[in-house]
Amino acid sequence: MNLTKLVTLSIVSATLLTSCGPKAFVKGQYDDANKENLMNDQWSETDMQVVVKAMVESLTKSAKVVTAKTPPDVMVTNLQNKTSEHIDTQSIMDMVRVELTNSGKVSFIDKEARKDISDEYDYQNSGMVSKETKKGAGGQIGVDYIINGRIDSIVQEVGKDKSVYYKITLNMTDLKTTRIVWTDQKQIRKTFKKKSIGL
């Protein structure tokens, strides 16, 4: 009788331990990247898509862009992260650059490629490249405007309720005058409710 109880207790214990142990994601599927994502209370790709769409729409309707005779040459620099989260701000600015470029209303100068371009100039001046195809310094285009900004957040928790607020501000600055010729912000607030976790 005691042996039966011991075996039963061992099986129940093993089952409980297995069900409470860490879970591994072993099966996945592709999902729509544009579908709303509120799986947790952190910055998400949905937040990024909402922000970028609003900012690009605002910028392309700004006076400096609309009245320009030719697409102005723009450079994206940095987005300061003033939140308590680790947010890939480079990814946000990359998406801004892609969407603005695809709009055809601005032209972008690639800041990240400058070191590679400088190295290539050195190589082409080494004698390894024909004179007919060699490129050299002095032909690059000067930037008209620089786009940068910051992201802030406020997190509030009361009982089981949690509110996460983000504010993203972008500025476009005239390189010659240092005047901010366009600025806008997008605000996002998300609310969450904690759920009790039981066995």
pLDDT of residue 138: 82
pLDDT class of 27 with cuts at 50, 70, 90: low
pLDDT class of 35 with cuts at 50, 70, 90: low
pLDDT of residue 98: 93
Q: What is the Cα 176 distance to its own chain's centre?
A: 28
User: Looking at per-residue confidence, does 14 or 194 come out higher?
Assistant: 194
pLDDT of residue 12: 58
pLDDT of residue 25: 60
SS3 137: coil
pLDDT of residue 176: 94
Per residue in 138-172, pLDDT (tens digit) is 888 889 999 999 999 998 888 888 899 999 999 99
pLDDT of residue 193: 83
Residues paired with residue 107 on neighbouring β-strands, in sequence order: 73
Give the strand pairing for 145-158 and 161-174.
antiparallel
pLDDT of residue 147: 95
Per residue in 41-91, pLDDT (tens digit) is 778 888 999 999 999 999 999 999 999 999 999 999 999 999 999 999 999
Q: What is the DSSP string of 84-96?
A: SS---HHHHHHHH
Residues paired with residue 180 on neighbouring β-strands, in sequence order: 173
Per residue in 164-190, pLDDT (tens digit) is 999 999 999 999 999 999 999 999 998
Length of the chain measured in residues: 199
Q: What is the DSSP letter of 42?
A: S
User: Looking at per-residue confidence, does 10 or 105 come out higher?
Assistant: 105
